[in-house]
Amino acid sequence: MKEKYEIIKKIKKLKKDHKAIILAHVYQIGDVQDIADYTGDSLGLSRKAAKTDADVIVFCGVKFMAETAHLLSPTKTVLLPDKNADCGLADMATVKELVTWKKKYPNAAVVSYVNSLAAIKAESNICCTSANAIDVVNSCPQDTILFLPDKNLGSYVAEHTDKNVVLWKGFCYVHEKIQPKQLKKLKKAHPTAEIIVHPECTPRVRHMSNFIGSTSQMLRYVTQADQQEFIVGTEDNFVYRLQKDNPEKIFYPVGSSCIGMNRINLEKIKLALEQSKYEIYFPKDIQSRAKKALDKMLRIK
Ligand code: 13P
Ligand code: SF4
């Protein structure tokens, strides 16, 4: 406990010395969420990164999120405290395959989920997050949308738009792992609990839920609901944030965790600030093209 207190004290001092800000995704462990200046979903974090006047952004999340922060704030130093904090979904699309896909649909718009490599964003018309994916797709003048890399979020969007949405075959292992039978079991044990899930879940799971939304949308839903108990179909650490904001309510996690998100801890944040690591870089060409797709997304709403 004393050791933890010392690390927190050190991080606070380093933050001041380096004019740094700590941004953390809501899938981070509780200790990391508690030390952050701002916690949120991918969209909220992107907006924060684009606006900050700090010199250094310590990004506690997975690599694509730190990359997004750097793309939006190219003059800032962006540090990812663990260089192996990867998102399995982001690695499921390659530029070579995307270029071939685009040739098959020359009149389509490419919408890439932010959970993708910067080079994929650079080949896209516009990016989206799970919070704005439907609005982004509807904002495209084209009738056909090539949506990548997540087939589950893509199918969720397809259910809510008149556009012809063509899906890439990627998925998130954390959400794909959540099965209807697990939810049924939890529901049997807690019959008055509502099921809330992330749109990265499979259609079968989504269709048995009471609410589908990005992490920020789930948080808002839970906070405003009269309901007292919730089965939470997404990364388990999110329950920490739900509970913190809603101490009187009860949450049941489904038992699914993201390896990349769980790599970051207080010690690594301290080291990141002390040793300026691991800094995110891009070739100029990718930086400017990927930024265009992200800026376009941020102009929506
Ligand atoms: P949110 O943007 O809803 O926070 O989701 C990010 C993510 O990685 C989901 O797996
Ligand atoms: Fe990527 Fe899935 Fe982890 Fe989200 S939960 S960061 S999509 S691997």
Atom index in ligand 1 nearest the CA of residue 43 equals: 2
What is the fold, at CATH topology level, of the domain defined by 178-253?
Answer: Rossmann fold (3.40.50)
The reply to whether 90-171 shares the fold of 2-85+261-275 is: yes
194 Cα: distance to centroid of ligand 2 (angstroms): 23
- Quick one: which ligand is closest to 258's CA? 2
Residue nearest to atom 3 of ligand 2 (CA): 258
Is the CATH number 3.20.20.100 carried by domain 90-171? no
Q: Is the CB of 114 under 6 A from ligand 2?
A: no
Pocket test for ligand 2, best of 28, 64, 174 (most atoms within 8 A of CB): 174
Q: Alpha-carbon Rg of the chain, whole angstroms?
A: 19
**pLDDT score recorded for residue 184:** 98
Our mutation pick for probing the ligand 1 site, out of 64, 198, 212, 236, counting the most ligand atoms within 8 A of Cβ, is: 198
Q: Answer whether 49 contacts ligand 2 (Cβ < 6 A).
A: no
User: For the segment 207-244, what is each residue's pLDDT rounded down to a tens digit?
Assistant: 999 999 999 999 999 999 999 999 999 999 999 999 99
- Distance, in Å, from the CA atom of 212 to the CA atom of 133, rounded to the nearest integer, reads 13
How many angstroms is it from 45 CA to the middle of ligand 2? 15
Low-confidence ranges of the chain (pLDDT < 70): none
Which residue minimizes the CA distance to atom 2 of ligand 1? 42
Predicted model pTM: 0.97
Summary mean pLDDT of the chain = 97
Pocket-testing residue among 89, 156, 176, 264, ligand 2, by greatest number of atoms within 8 A of Cβ: 89
| Boundaries of every domain in the chain | 2-85+261-275, 90-171, 178-253
Query: What's the pLDDT score for residue 284?
Result: 87
List pLDDT tens digits, range 172-187: 999 999 999 999 999 9
* Locus of tokens 């609005």: 135
pLDDT of 11 reads 98
Residue 142 half-sphere exposure, CB side, CA atoms within 13 Å?
Answer: 18
- Spatial contact of 41 and 128, defined as CB atoms under 8 Å apart: no
Q: Closest ligand to 261 CA?
A: 2
Place of tokens 């789930």: 218
Residue at token pair 């899906």 = 167
CATH for 2-85+261-275 is 3.40.50.10800
- For ligand 2, what atom is nearest to the CA of residue 258? 3
Q: Whose CA is nearest to atom 2 of ligand 2?
A: 172
Distance (angstroms) between ligand 2 centre and the Cα of 17 equals 32
